[in-house]
C-alpha cells in the first residue's frame, strides 16, 4: 500500500534559504472522507516545488488545505514562521499567500483591467498597486493590449494569464498553482510555466505547483514531490528525478 512507502532520496538537496512554508503531518478531506494523510513538505524562499501525481492522488486537496479553502483535520501549516493552520483563506491572501485554481478563475463580465484591480490589496499604497500592474503587463503584454476587453471574451490561455495576473496584483510571496497547464496548448503551457519560473528566479516569490504534465513539472521545479493515494511518497531534487529511467513506476 502507498502508506508503507516513505522515501526521502539521498540526492535531494536541502535549500539553504529559510522556509517560507512548512507543512507537517497534514491531514484533510471532505466531510467524513479523509483524502490527504500525514503530508509533509516545505518550500524555501525563492524556490519552486512541484507536486506530481495522478488524478485523485490528493494534490488539489493539499493545496486547498494549505491556503485555507479547507480546514485541516490535523497537522500544522507554518507560513513565514507563523502557524496558519486554521487561518481563513482571505487572511492568508493578506499575508501574501495566493491560490490559483485550475479552473478559469476570472470575472467574465468585467474588463481585463477591472479584473486586475480587483486583485490588488486596497490597503497598499497606489504606488505599489501601480508597480504590480506594470509587472503583470510586462509579463503578459497581451493583457495590456486587451486592457479594456471583457475577460469572458479572452481565449483560454489568455484567461489563465489573467488569473495569474490577478494573483500577482496582491503582491504575494507564495503562489499555490493548481495545474496551470490544464487545457492549454503545449506551447502556451510552456510559456506560462516559464513565466512562473521567471518570477521565482527574480526573487521575493516562492511557488508550489501541482501538475500532471511530468515534463513541465520537472522543468519548473527545484524539488519534486510525488503523491500517491493521499500520501507523499517521495521528495527529490528535480534534476535527479528527471534522470530516473522508470519514473512512471512511482505513480
Cell of 125: 499604497
Q: How far apart are CA 251 and CA 240, in angstroms?
A: 17
CA atoms within 13 A on the CB side of 128: 12
Bridge partner list, 8: 235
Asked if 225 and 49 touch (Cβ cutoff 8 Å), the reply is yes
Q: How far apart are CA 211 and CA 218, in angstroms?
A: 9
Q: How far apart are CA 182 and CA 188, in angstroms?
A: 11
- For residue 8, what pLDDT is reported? 39
Mean pLDDT of the chain: 88
- For residue 78, what pLDDT is reported? 97
- For residue 248, what pLDDT is reported? 67
User: How many residues does this entry show for the chain?
Assistant: 251
- For residue 97, what pLDDT is reported? 97
Containing 50, the helix (H) or strand (E) segment is strand 48-52
- For residue 7, what pLDDT is reported? 37
- The structure's pTM equals 0.87
Low-confidence ranges of the chain (pLDDT < 50): 1-16
- For residue 124, what pLDDT is reported? 76
Domains observed in the chain: 2-96+173-250 (3.40.50.300), 104-171 (no CATH)
Neighbours of 100 (CB within 10 A): 24
Amino acid at each position: 500500500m502507498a502508506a508503507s512507502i516513505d522515501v526521502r532520496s539521498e540526492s535531494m538537496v536541502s535549500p539553504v534559504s529559510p522556509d517560507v512554508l512548512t507543512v507537517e503531518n497534514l491531514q484533510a478531506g471532505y466531510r467524513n472522507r479523509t483524502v490527504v494523510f500525514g503530508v509533509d513538505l516545505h518550500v524555501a524562499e525563492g524556490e519552486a516545488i512541484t507536486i506530481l501525481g495522478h488524478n485523485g492522488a490528493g494534490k488539489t486537496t493539499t493545496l486547498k488545505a494549505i491556503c485555507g479553502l479547507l480546514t485541516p483535520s490535523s497537522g500544522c501549516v507554518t507560513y513565514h514562521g507563523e502557524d496558519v493552520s486554521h487561518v481563513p483563506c482571505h487572511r492568508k491572501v493578506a499575508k501574501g499567500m495566493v491560490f490559483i485554481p485550475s479552473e478559469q478563475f476570472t470575472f467574465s463580465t468585467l474588463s481585463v483591467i477591472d479584473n486586475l484591480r480587483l486583485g490588488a490589496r486596497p490597503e497598499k499604497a497606489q504606488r505599489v498597486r501601480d508597480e504590480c500592474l506594470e509587472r503583470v503587463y510586462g509579463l503578459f503584454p497581451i493583457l495590456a493590449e486587451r486592457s479594456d476587453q471583457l475577460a469572458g471574451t479572452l481565449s483560454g490561455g489568455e484567461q489563465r494569464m489573467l488569473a495569474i495576473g490577478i494573483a500577482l496584483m496582491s503582491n504575494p510571496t507564495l503562489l499555490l498553482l493548481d495545474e496551470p497547464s490544464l487545457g492549454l496548448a503545449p506551447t502556451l503551457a510552456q510559456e506560462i510555466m516559464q513565466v512562473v519560473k521567471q518570477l521565482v528566479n527574480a526573487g521575493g516569490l516562492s511557488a508550489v505547483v501541482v501538475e500532471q504534465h511530468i515534463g513541465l513539472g520537472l522543468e519548473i521545479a527545484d524539488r519534486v514531490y510525488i503523491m500517491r493515494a493521499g500520501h507523499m511518497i517521495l521528495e527529490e531534487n528535480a534534476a535527479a528525478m528527471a534522470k530516473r529511467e522508470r519514473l512512471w513506476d512511482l505513480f
